[in-house]
A and B are shown apart, each in its own frame.
Chain A
Amino acid sequence: MALIKVSHLSYQYANSETKAVDDVSFEIEGGEWVAIVGHNGSGKSTIAKLLIGLMAADEGSVEVDGQTLSEATVWQIRETIGMVFQNPDNQFVGATVADDVAFGMENRQVDRDTMVPRVESALKQVGMWDFKDREPAKLSGGQKQRVALAGIIAVAPKILILDEATSMLDPQGRRDILRTIKELKDRLNLTVLSITHDIDEAANADRIMVIDDGHFVEEADPETIFSHGQRLIEMGLDVPFSEKLKLALADRGVAVPNNYLDEGSLVDWLWTSHSNT
């Protein structure tokens, strides 16, 4: 059975004339990494908020781990979902790194003796143990997002939702945090739903859902999605670097293969075709 099951979800903001989310349905299996991509204002963050019950949907239902989202089950559902938001500063609740990691456990009334070792192990897993007494003002954006991740793994949820978690980070911080998430996903058998317009983040996914103006327009594995380079650009999305290079080459009359190639296979293709001529 699917871990997350969303059927016919719709939501309209009070001050808007169109639906932010319009009849969206999807299912996510346990252990999957799914990316929802779309341009700004396409409704992807709204989906995240509807999933954990921060807003109530106008129509449709959300089912997480066998429970249907309602006022009675919302706190139980939040137990199974950890969420990392966009702005690293505005989700750092604790006064220091260790306090922030403990915050979720305090809310779940974990007693202090179990909290202390869990804070330590969570911080060690994201490589932030040496910073445990630091205050947030003295950390970089990427470090703050890693602390946010540690706070989530400390409460051991089944699902991790990344709501544009890397969009305010520099390229280095972004790569670091994505590598950490990948390791954690494999080790803890997490289900990851990343909501993003960062193409590198989407490339990590098993499956990509493209959303445009509140509804899904396409759903496939990253290779298939990225091979529609031109269409993604029309939807206001970015394409991977290798795809941009292919488009530039095609403009100059080079016959490039149609299927998606990542950077490694593009290099292979380039040197094999070059040595043939």
Chain B
Amino acid sequence: MDKFLFGRYIPGHSWVHRLDPRAKLVLCFMYVLVVFFANNLWTYLLLTVLLLASVAATAISLRIFLRGLRPLLWLLIFTVLIQVFFGAGGHVYWSWGILSVTHDGLISAGLILMRFVLIIMISTLLTFSTAPLDIADGIESLLSPLRKVHFPVATLALMLSLALRFVPTLMDEAEKIMNAQRARGVDFGTGGLKQQIKTIVPILIPLFVNAFNRAVDISTAMEARGYQDGENRTKYRQLKWQRADTISFLVYVVSLASVIGLRFVA
């Protein structure tokens, strides 16, 4: 598990951890949008400073963030290389057959690299500092205006929260089934592709059947506890918008607006 940092939550009590998940979701979304507006040195500099300041506010070290980039390293290199060798326009530095390194190609490669890193870092920041449950609550709250068009927000939220609650339970179960099948002689991870796909079946089918049994049990239990439908319920969990949220919001809005401004000025 330690290798896989992408999408994980790192518990803490920092400024960012204590922010309202709605604020974090909206700010993260705005940031990603604005990244696509950035087009010159100053805008990127401002975005980077904003990101680094936010990273500092999570009290999680930058090293862990950079480690989170590692699984995507190959994708990054691949995209940058394509831009470098296939970019066109401006002064041609080097060319061989269909490959050519040009001034504009290099610049767009740099831009793509920056955008990639910024977007990944800001999303990592969101998942590092926000528990999955809070993200679910935030999404529910942000979707609530859709109630007006009869979108089943409460039902969706319950589904999301049940799904999140059963992730570790089902992981445990998959592990158990795998071990049980291993004890009966199934060999995982060896042989050709076809053989490997075949060995997944004895995990998948019991997992599937158990999931159905679980669904029946849990719906019985929910009904016995008075659950009727998603809309007519009160809520125990409540999100609270605090001063820290307003301050962060202002900082982001000002910075991101300046980025858009700089695009046209500089």
* Chain A contacts to B: CB under 8 angstroms: 49, 52, 54, 75, 78-79, 81-83, 85, 87, 89-96, 98-99, 102-112, 115-116, 119, 135-137, 151-152, 155
Nearest-CB distance from A168 to chain B (Å)? 12
Q: Quick one: which of B218, B222, B236, B238 contacts A98, CB cutoff 8 A?
A: B236
- What is the distance, in angstroms, from B233's C-beta to the closest C-beta of chain A? 5
Contact B169 A155 (CB under 8 A): no
Q: Are B236 and A93 in contact (CB under 8 A)?
A: no
A93 adjacent to B234 (CB under 8 Å): no
Could you give, for residues 225-246 of chain B, a 1 whenever the CB lies within 8 Å of some chain A CB and a 0 otherwise?
A: 1111000111111100000000
Which interface residue of B133, B162, B221, B227 has the most chain A CB atoms within 10 A? Answer: B221
Once A and B bind, how many residue pairs between them come within 8 Å at the CB atom? 93
> Which residue, of A81, A85, A87, A90, has the highest number of chain B Cβ atoms within 10 A?
A90
Is B234 in contact with A52, judged by CB distance below 8 angstroms?
A: no
For the complex, is B147 an interface residue (Cβ under 8 Å from A)? no
Find out whether the CB atom of B172 lies under 8 angstroms from the CB atom of A137.
yes
Interface residues of B in 186-225 (CB under 8 A from A): 213-214, 217-218, 220-225
Chain A: minimal CB distance from B232 (Å): 6
The CA-CA distance from A78 to B224 in the complex, in Å, is 6
**B76, chain A: closest CB distance, angstroms:** 34
B interface SS class: helix
Task: Report chain B residues within 8 Å CB of A83.
Answer: 221, 224-225
- Given the known interface contacts A98-B236, A112-B238, the answer about A85 and B165 at a Cβ–Cβ threshold of 8 Å is no
| B221-A105 in contact (CB<8A) | no
Measured between beta carbons, the chain B residues less than 8 angstroms from A79 are: 226
- Kindly report which residue of chain B lies nearest to residue A96, judged by CB atoms: B133
The answer to whether B161 touches A155, judged by C-beta atoms less than 8 angstroms apart, is no
List of 7 A-B pairs having minimum Cβ-Cβ separation, nearest first: A102-B236, A90-B217, A91-B221, A137-B168, A107-B226, A104-B225, A106-B233
Q: Is B59 an interface residue (CB 8 A)?
A: no
A94 contacts across to B, CB distance below 8 A: 165
B208 to chain A, nearest CB (A): 16
